[in-house]
Structure 1
Amino acid sequence: MQIRRKSFLALGAAGAATALLAACGGESSPDTAATEPAPASDGGGEADPSAAPARADADLVIWADEKKAASLQEPIAAWAQTQGITAAVQTISNDPQAAFVTANQAGNGPDVMLGAHDWIGNLVQNAAIVPVQLPSDAADKLAPIGMTAVQFEGQTYGVPYAVETLALFANNALTAAPEPTSIEELVAAGTEGGAENVLSLPVGEQGDAYHMQPLYSSGGGYLFGADASGNLDPKDLGVGKEGSIAAGEKIKALGEQGVLKTSISGDNAISLFTDGKAAYLVSGPWALADIAKSGLDVTMSAVPGFEGMEPAKPFAGVNAFYVASSGKNQGFAQQLLSDVASSPDIARAMFASNQLPPVSLDLQTELAADNPEMVRIAELAESTDPMPSIPAMSEIWAPLGQAQANIVGGADPSEVMTSAGEQIAGKIGA
């Protein structure tokens, strides 16, 4: 599965900014660059055996991508010493989800895996992870969105530690409405400000359903309904139904106004904003460093919805620790996850070298003064929905994104949404 977005949680932050300059507290910015575009997660299919290392000779073995593995080395070494065991953190550079599934099935994988929460459905389907037992006070220690994201079919399958979502960034020099309460207000203020582009939101020729989700959800669209138990139901597919068509009509109107453009994609959305060519930007924490470097006077707020319609709900993406089903030492793995849930110590140490919006409520409080934007992103995530983690979600991205791009380009919303729904339904058997 490929999500057309820049993702902090997929590859980690490359020196995230600690301030948004004048509009967000007036602090100076570090000299850092934004993370490169990357998929949030892979499809969990067959992995190249060379992508996975041989299991280290240690009591507890953890696998993670390069950024997270580097940030884990010192805190895990300290934790292992207190436990009287040895631990090793190993890096998975390519297709980490698929590499983990393959290695776990072969019995030579890790005890703990770090990854995005939307892996859970596929990992459970492949019997790669087991439920975890959290401390009784976990709900008081961890942000609700994090706890919700790691639930699947009534079980808790991981311990969350970082979260990301989309926000609205306003160039205060180009708009008199830095925190618009509706898309209509945003369009009016951005137009009046005379910006070359009212809104820099990635669409591209092939679409970007991730970045379009706030508008799609506000316009009435949904992806999957829920069954009687509250679990997402792939048989109840929202794409192609009335709500998605209504959302398509709103998206088409923005295309006709020139507010949404297929010429704006993940490759240029942030730079258009930081170059002063857009009044507003819809992006995530991966944009903070470039915005800070730009020297612009910027305000960050929630992405607004359409006037009189549903609230805009971007996706939340959560990173979590998982216990491998075929790990050699599940007892140590469960203890580590329990300790991560109970105390911010490991997440705090990881943040020092790999800044991600934290899920730990105590860590949010600690970081609020020096890292207000990171904490604000985490707070904004509480008003969003976790990205669906059911396996059927992998079939949504391309058809829905392409339908939305076609609508921005002038296509009939009813026709293309219906077609996209039929295509997705055929893939997932809905």
Structure 2
Amino acid sequence: MKVNRAFLCVVLGALILSLAAIPSTAADPLVVWCETIRMGTIEPIAAEWSKKTGVPVKVEPAGILETANKVQMAGPMGKGPDVFCSLSGTLGQLVITGTVAPIKTEFVDLSNFMDVGIDAATFGGKLYGVPYDISGVAMIYNKAIWPEPPATFDEVIAKSRELRKQDMFGILWSLETFYHSHAIMAGYGSYIFAETESWWDSDDIGLANEGAVKGVKLLKKLRTEGIIPVGTDYQVAPAKFSEGKAAAIIDGSWALPGIKQAGIDYGIAPIPKLDNGVYPA
């Protein structure tokens, strides 16, 4: 490891993070961990950077969901990567444990990135990485069942009740996963921390306000009526959709390869409006 050369992260782009400095020799290769599906993009960029600087680079595959934990274990032993891809949700943990170091912003043209991406890579006013992918969830629907996407959640519920009689599903997602379900709560006015002009107010938490309660009641309704049954997780939902047994799922772009392979004629639309006329967000 030799993270004093961590400015490679600005060449690669990412929520690519650099490790806190650990002494090393210049002869060591700079090690980069990234998702397997990103290696085809990162390897040629790393090779070009290596050619210009004379610093060898070794790009290694690493699962995005496990990277943060693995880095925290390997870093103190002087092992692991100098630069790595990680989910923005792990940044606070990595900073607090002293695992990552802030990057020098003079190496980065921040105008090339969306503000929301830079915000996600910032902690305590310091930039720790740069975004390479901004993902979200939407409604993916089966055009054979829904030629046009439903406009409201009331339509979704009505269709779901009808399809359950045929042992099919109107809409599925991992109901217990906050990443997916908070959109429903937020549509009614829930929030995690209140946003201020410069940061977030950690004393103002909106997870138990009136909107949050209303959102949770809708989620409970989906479960108690069997619209989204117990056991529906991030694997079951896309699997049922790919089998043609679900009219729609709430998921991200990562679900599309399997759906395409299954030959489903699908469309993508916003999560339908709630009964207050607001889109879940």
Give the shorter-chain TM-score range. Answer: 0.7 to 0.9
- What SS does structure 1 have at the residue aligned with 2:191? coil
SS of aligned partner of 1:165: coil
SS at match of 2:135: strand
Q: Distance in 2 between matches of 1:95 and 1:302?
A: 29
Q: Does 1:198 align with 2:170?
A: yes
Report the residue type matching 2:169 in the other structure. N
Shift of 1:133: 3.3
Gaps of 5+ in 2: 1-23
The answer to whether the 8 Å contact 2:188/2:276 transfers is no
Equivalence map 1:141-152=2 (5 Å): 141-152=112-123
Aligned to 2:31: 61
Counterparts of 1:239-388 in structure 2, within 5 Å, are 239-308=207-276, 310-313=278-281
SS of the residue aligned with 2:189?
Answer: coil
Map Cα deviations across residues 18-40 of structure 1 (whole Å, 9 max, x no partner). Answer: xxxxxxxxxxxxxxxxxxxxxxx
CA distance in 2 between partners of 1:56 and 1:288 (Å): 42
Give 1:346's aligned residue: none
Q: 2:69 aligns with which of 90, 98, 104?
A: 98
Give the CA deviation at 1:300.
0.7
2:109 alignment partner, one of 138, 157, 182: 138
Is 1:212 equivalent to 2:189 in the alignment? no
Any conservation in 2 of the 1:117–1:150 contact (CA below 8 Å)?
A: yes
Return the offset for 1:226: 4.1
Q: Deviations over 1:286-342 (max 9, x none)?
A: 2111211222221111222413254312xxxxxxxxxxxxxxxxxxxxxxxxxxxxx
- Cα drift, residue 199 of structure 1: 0.8
TM-score (norm 2): 0.75
Q: Look up the SS of the partner of 2:215 in the other structure.
A: helix
Between 273-282 and 253-262, report the one with greater CA deviation: 253-262
Whole-angstrom distance in 2 between the partners of 1:103 and 1:160: 23
1:167 maps to which residue? Answer: 138
| DSSP 3-state at the match of 2:134 | strand
Letter paired with 2:157 = V
Cα pair 1:220 1:309 within 8 Å, conserved: no
User: How far 1:80 moved relative to its partner?
Assistant: 0.6
User: Please, which of 40, 45, 57 is the counterpart of residue 75 of structure 1?
Assistant: 45
Q: Report the alpha carbon displacement of residue 84 of structure 1 after superposing the two structures with TM.
A: 2.5
Identical counterparts, % of pairs:
24
CA contact (8 A) 2:270 2:279 kept: no
Name the structure 2 match of 1:375.
none
Distance of aligned partners of 1:209 and 1:62 in 2 relative to their CA distance in 1, 3 Å threshold:
same
The structure whose RCO (Cα within 8 Å, separation 6+) is larger is 1
**C-alpha separation between the residues in 1 aligned to 2:110 and 2:133?**
15
| Structure 1 residues without counterparts, runs of 5 or longer | 1-53, 314-430
- Rounded to whole Å, the distance in 2 between the matches of 1:301 and 1:217 is 18
State the distance in 2 between where 1:250 and 1:56 align: 58
Q: Is the 8 A contact 2:136 2:252 kept in 1?
A: yes
1:67 CA displacement: 5.0
* CA drift at 1:70: 6.8
Report the Cα distance in structure 2 between the residues aligned to 1:55 and 1:186, rounded to whole angstroms.
60
Using a 3 Å threshold, how does the CA distance of structure 1 residues 295 and 215 change in structure 2: closer, same or farther?
same
In structure 2, the residue corresponding to 1:104 is in which secondary structure?
helix
Whichever residue aligns with residue 171 of structure 2, its letter is: L
For normalisation by structure 1, the TM-score amounts to 0.52
> After the TM superposition, which of the residue ranges 252-261 and 270-279 deviates more from structure 2?
252-261
Aligned pair partner of 1:89 in 40, 59, 77? 59
Please list the CA deviations of residues 62-98 of structure 1 after superposition, one character each: whole Å capped at 9, or x if unmatched: 2345555575334312221022322223455794323
In the aligned structure 1, how far is the partner of 2:26 from the partner of 2:170? 52
Shift of 1:102: 3.7
Q: 2 CA distance for matches of 1:243 and 1:55?
A: 55
Counterpart secondary structure, 1:265? coil
For the structure 1 residues 96 and 222, does the alpha-carbon distance in structure 2 shift closer, same or farther, using more than 3 Å as the test?
same
Asked if 2 retains the 8 angstrom alpha-carbon contact of 1:176 and 1:189, the reply is: no
How many aligned residue pairs are there? 255
Indicate the SS of the match to 1:164. coil
CA displacement at 1:149 relative to structure 2 = 1.5
Considering only aligned residues, what root-mean-square deviation do their CA atoms show, in Å? 3.2
Q: In the superposition, relative to structure 1, how do residues 66 and 275 fare at CA in structure 2: closer, same or farther (>3 Å)?
A: closer
Tell me the residue number matched to 1:157.
Answer: 128
Partner of 2:157: 187
1:202 aligns to what SS in structure 2?
coil
SS at match of 1:304: coil
